[in-house]
Amino acid sequence: MPASRLLPAYRPIRKPRPAPADFEDPSLPPRDPLRWLKLATTIVEQASRERPADTLLRQHLRDAGRLSNEDAAQTSQAVFAYFRWLGWLDTTLKLESQIRSALEFTAKYAANPKSFRDADLLARTLPPWVNDAVPVSAAWLRTIQAEPTLWLRVKPGRLQALAQVLGHNRTCPLPDALAYFGEEDLFRRPEFHAGEFEIQDVASQAVGMVCGAKPGETWWDACAGEGGKTLHLSVQMQGKGMIWASDRAEWRLKKLKLRTARAQCFNYRAAQWEGGAKLPTKTRFDGVLLDAPCTGLGTWQRNPHARWTATPEDARELAAVQKQLLHHAAPAVKPGGKLIYSVCTLTRAETEEVAAAFQAAHPEFTPLPLPNPFQTHKPAQAQHCLWPQGTGGGGMFIASWRRTEQVEVTPPTAAPLSPQ
């Protein structure tokens, strides 16, 4: 499986605060007023399935030398606007003209979303295969055509104080979630380096809330990546108990180590896990979180390039991987323990069909109804499909089970796990 199919942890590109229009830094060379457009055009030309646009954008902004704040901001907006409105563009025009058109669509949509008809959104926003894989709605498309919100997960008890310090924000139903609308580079804030908040999408925060880890428990974050959900579990556990964090990629675990140090998270152990039957530890856990690799349809608002690189074959192949990961992780759950499956995608093949296949193959697990963090007033359910128009952030599917007894299970027939 190509590594491009496994989306990297999201590191937001914040638009730097532009300098005043009448300010000219004498230490910089004379500003080319179209530098941002030339740079955006280069990035769009180079972007491909193997070279995602968001990765290329970071590389080019890093390597562009003394790029002004204004140029960096305009470049970022132009690249994402192009892929967000790609289905609406006249491809007979030069690429620079297409990018300008995409920016015009962005401004028009921000000013008056109702000027875009539902029928046009349904016909032009996504590749055709998605209609067969996902219950597409105009509400979803209207949400992902807007620019995304940057969400913070704030240290418990610090929400109001941080909101006052940062400004440009609003809260949401999740107790520690804060939406930030300012232009500041939050990675430079002293509060970030002091571990008072993490950059984490609100849908990802919902996964941690569904887990409901408690102090003194043992948990396994089986596909931990760079550790966003590991940190959330640790906060829930108040630093008491133990978390095993595993991933197939050693470089992700190295980044996890840096993040946990900054966040002062010490109740964890990191270990590589290839996703097979050989587990990183013989420990049996109170809870196992499997946040599996997926096609990432739930991230298409903030990562519009991925709309045009994902394929239906990806969904089928990843569904097979997800089923095997669940099967291999299941024995690590102790009787009475929880198994939480989450994916930041919305295809039927990777969500309800994977959950149904696991349930059929594992009678030792029973569905565990848990509250929807965004709708706590409604009855608990064992499966939650969280759509961006309902979260204010990304999309996510979550399924939960409880292990009731020890049962020997015959391994399912499935394709072998492919390397990342």
Of these residues, 211, 223, 294, 344, which one is catalytic? 344
What does the alpha-carbon distance between residue 358 and residue 362 come to, in Å, rounded to a whole number?
Answer: 6
Region 152-175: mean pLDDT is 94
Mean pLDDT of 400-411: 73
Scanning 350-395, the segments in alpha helix (DSSP H) are 352-361, 388-391
Mean local confidence (pLDDT), 11-15? 43
Q: Where does the pLDDT of residue 30 fall: very low under 50, low under 70, confident under 90, or very high at 90 and above?
A: low
Distance CA 383, CA 346 (A): 12
Confidence of residue 236 (pLDDT cuts 50, 70, 90): very high
pLDDT, position 7 = 36
Q: How confident is the model at residue 27 (pLDDT cuts 50, 70, 90)?
A: low
Decide if 344 is catalytic: yes
**Residue 3: pLDDT above 50?**
no
Q: What is the pLDDT of residue 406?
A: 60
**Farthest CA pair distance, the chain:** 73
pLDDT 10s digits, 33-57:
789 999 999 999 999 999 999 999 9
pLDDT tens track for 60-114: 998 887 778 788 989 999 999 999 999 999 999 999 999 999 999 999 999 999 9
The answer to whether residue 265 scores a pLDDT higher than 70 is: yes
What is residue 324's predicted lDDT score, i.e. its pLDDT? 98
> Would you give the end-to-end CA distance of the chain in angstroms?
6
Where does the pLDDT of residue 410 fall: very low under 50, low under 70, confident under 90, or very high at 90 and above?
low
Inform me whether the pLDDT recorded for 386 exceeds 90. Answer: yes
Query: Which of the two residues, 406 and 216, has the higher pLDDT score?
Result: 216
DSSP state of 279: -
Radius of gyration of the CA atoms of the chain, in A: 22
Instruction: Say what the pLDDT of residue 183 is.
Output: 86
Please name the residue that has the structure tokens 């000027």: 115
Query: Would you say residue 208 has pLDDT above 90?
Result: yes
Instruction: Give the pLDDT mean for 375-398.
Output: 96
User: Could you tell me how many helices (H) and strands (E) the chain has, helices first?
Assistant: 15, 12
Q: Is the pLDDT of residue 191 over 60?
A: yes
d(CA 149, CA 181): 7
Please identify which residue in the block is written with the tokens 């690249």.
Answer: 79
Please report the pLDDT score of residue 29 as a whole number.
Answer: 57
Distance CA 284, CA 333 (A): 5
Calpha distance 83→306 (Å, rounded): 9
Average pLDDT over the chain, rounded to an integer: 90
The percent of residues in the chain predicted with pLDDT above 70, rounded, is: 89
